Amino acid sequence: MVGGGALIASLAEEGWLSRLLSFRLLVIGGEISYSIYMTHQVVNLGILPHIHGLSLSLTFLLVTTITITSSAFLFYFVEAPVRDAVKARLKTRTSATEGRIKQAAELPIVQLSSKIEAGRRF
């Protein structure tokens, strides 16, 4: 618990740990980590049965390279654009909802209750 508190405290300021974790390759690794998690088993099952005669280190290098490359591709061309589109859509819906709430707040109570009873949108 003390270690976790020390980690949070050290990241709150511009210390050496914060600068280390801001290193570009570590940031990219953090961004694509979920994609790596989701693709590594697919790559293992799709590639390993077809590799024969390679050393263990070469096989590891090949599978790791394919996993990281496919994960980066999936993150930058699928996951991030879909995430951004969903965020934009939710923001638009939130704005529309806030507009309807503002309209309802401006209506007199009698008018608002009749609209609610009629099941109409205001």
Cβ atoms of residues 68 and 35 within 8 Å: no
Give the whole-number percent of the chain exceeding pLDDT 70: 71
pLDDT range class, residue 62, cuts 50, 70, 90: very high
Task: Output the CA torsion 70→72→74→75 (10° steps).
Answer: 160
pTM for the predicted model, two decimal places: 0.63
